[in-house]
Chains A and B, each alone.
Chain A
């Protein structure tokens, strides 16, 4: 369970997905319909796991290649990066355009879109009826499997 939901919240869209390495560095756009102008807010619960990835032999190779490309010391780069991170960001488009993104390493986020004040990273917006879109951008998928879960509630 991501979070206990209150009774007034209507689940308008949800997603459960597993990303793997072939999904790395791609955009995945999902649309969902808001059917009335009677909502004040959208609440988006976004979670993915795992976050941290242990640097194994394969990633050591990867870091060695990176060091060669960046003209820096491979041993040092490997020493300084015992763990790497999966990074998926979520961006939102209202029927009227781009609202913003949550570009940070938090992998358990609650994003609120509201006419007066939205969560940091997103412009305030009325919850107008029409097609909304959530785009997941996989900046870095290093694990064999990354579980992603999204729930969108209208309030």
Chain B
């Protein structure tokens, strides 16, 4: 299994982006991304060109759409195009989402806490679902937009995500740059997908569906949760309550990004209603510790450190859920 960086929320001139399709793919390549999801507002019309350009530059392009409704924005990745965003409403959201899921799509809430109407209609998640009702989705944009680790709106999303995790609902933790134009010299993150097998659309969607994801500003991570028999679990795994050893390695994704944004990792935590553990990461990036967790609890890997001189979260993973 390989964890590869993706940008799962992008726009082009097929909706309100400044990018022409080929520019988006070139920028993805330059950023070192293995793939993107093209999620233009309420249209698939850019996909064929994006897919062709992606093949030229070896950037995987996942077909997608951002259902840009009056009540919230949802990124729909893969699946069939027959689902209609115009029928989506708080009264029918469950059936709308399940029908997209049935067609094979991953579907999740985009920028759940961005300022909404009348500045950006649907910017805020107004579907009026209780945390216990979010199990219909596959993913949740815990971080959105630029400077994700220090943005107040993302702190609100982190809290909402925690309240969903507390309901024992596992949504893949994803980031959405909501990439519209080629802004340089900015702090952004990426969603790393744990790809089993070849790099393909199906395997990328499988990683999201199964919560094998983490989001980070410039860090690559290997997380290993071992039970007492030595069996290993991925992030997002549902495991038995009990004793575990948690270990792994953090490394910098690229020298360029690390220098540009002065990235420096420091500690790793497992946080959630299942406990609160923090250990330093050593200078070579390694860490390990033992833990014990009760049933119906979760623990989320979080890496802390500096970005542009500000101490903040640098990485969040989909939690482990203990049964």
Query: Which A residues contact B (CB, under 8 angstroms)?
Result: 25, 27, 59, 62-63, 66-67, 69-72, 77, 81, 84, 87, 89, 91, 97-101, 103-105, 118, 120-123, 135, 137, 139-140, 142
Give the residues in chain A near B152, CB-CB below 8 Å: 71-72
Partner of B86 from A91, A118, A123 at Cβ < 8 Å: A91
28 contacts between A and B (CB under 8 A): A59-B118, A62-B118, A66-B116, A67-B115, A70-B113, A70-B114, A70-B116, A71-B156, A72-B153, A77-B119, A87-B121, A89-B42, A91-B86, A98-B81, A99-B45, A101-B41, A103-B43, A104-B15, A118-B45, A121-B15, A122-B43, A123-B43, A137-B86, A139-B68, A139-B122, A140-B118, A140-B121, A142-B118
B289 at the interface (CB under 8 A from A): no
B156 to chain A: which residues have CB within 8 Å?
A: 70-71
Residues of B within 8 A of A118 (CB): 45
**Choice from A27, A84, A100 contacting B43 with Cβ under 8 Å:** A100
Q: Is B145 among interface residues, defined by CB-CB distance under 8 A? A: no
Main secondary structure of the interface of B (DSSP, over half): loop
A91 neighbours in B (Cβ, 8 Å): 42, 86
Q: Give the docked Cα–Cα distance between A70 and B114 (Å).
A: 7
A119 and B184 alpha carbons, distance in the complex (Å)? 29
The digit string for B11-34, where 1 denotes a CB below 8 A from any CB of A, is 011111000000000000000000
Given contacts A25-B70, A66-B117, A70-B124, contact A103 B86 (CB under 8 A): no
In the assembled complex, the Cα of A97 lies from the Cα of B80 at a distance in Å of: 13
A31 to B45, CA, bound (A): 22
Q: Is A121 a contact of B43 with CB atoms below 8 Å?
A: yes
Mark B residues whose CB is within 8 Å of A: 12-16, 40-46, 68, 70, 81-82, 84, 86, 113-119, 121-122, 124, 152-153, 156
Q: How far is the CA of A78 from the CA of B13 in the complex (A)?
A: 29
Q: Are B121 and A120 in contact (CB under 8 A)?
A: no
Cα(A104)–Cα(B17), bound, Å: 8
Report whether B119 and A103 are in contact in the complex, using a CB–CB cutoff of 8 Å.
no
Supply 20 further A-B pairs (C-beta < 8 A) apart from A100-B42, A104-B16.
A25-B117, A63-B118, A69-B124, A70-B156, A77-B115, A98-B81, A98-B82, A100-B45, A101-B42, A101-B43, A103-B15, A103-B68, A105-B16, A120-B13, A120-B46, A121-B15, A122-B45, A123-B44, A135-B86, A137-B70
B43: nearest chain-A partner, CB-CB: A100
Decide: A120 near B45, CB < 8 A? Known: A66-B118, A84-B119, A103-B15: yes
Question: In the bound complex, do residue B45 and residue A25 qualify as a contact, i.e. CB atoms below 8 Å apart?
Answer: no
How many Å from the CB of B121 to the closest CB on chain A? 4
**Residues on the B chain within 8 Å of A87, using CB:** 121
Q: Is the interface of A mostly helix, strand, loop or mixed?
A: mixed
User: Contact at B15–A66, with CB atoms within 8 Å?
Assistant: no
**Interfacial chain A residues near B119, Cβ < 8 Å:** 63, 66, 77, 81, 84
Cα of A95 to Cα of B171 in the assembled complex, Å: 37
Asked if A103 and B121 sit within 8 Å, CB to CB, the answer is no
Query: Which residue, A27, A72, A97, A100, has most C-beta atoms of chain B within 10 A?
Result: A100
Contact B115 A139 (CB under 8 A): no
Closest to B21 in A: A120
Residue in contact with A121 in the complex, picked from B14, B114, B122, CB distance below 8 Å: B14
Residue from B16, B44, B86, B115 within 8 A of A27 (CB atoms) = B86
Q: Which residues of A contact B121 (CB under 8 A)?
A: 25, 87, 139-140
CA distance A87 to B86 in the complex (A): 15
Separation in Å of the B41 CB from the closest CB of chain A?
A: 4
Q: Would B118 and A100 count as touching, CB distance under 8 A?
A: no
User: Within the complex, what minimum Cβ distance (angstroms) separates A38 from chain B?
Assistant: 25
Determine the chain A residues whose CB is within 8 A of the CB of B113 once the complex forms. 70
Complex CA gap A70/B125 in Å reads 11
Q: How far is the CB of A88 from chain B (nearest CB, A)?
A: 11
User: When chains A and B are docked, how far (Å) is the Cα of A150 from the Cα of B92?
Assistant: 30
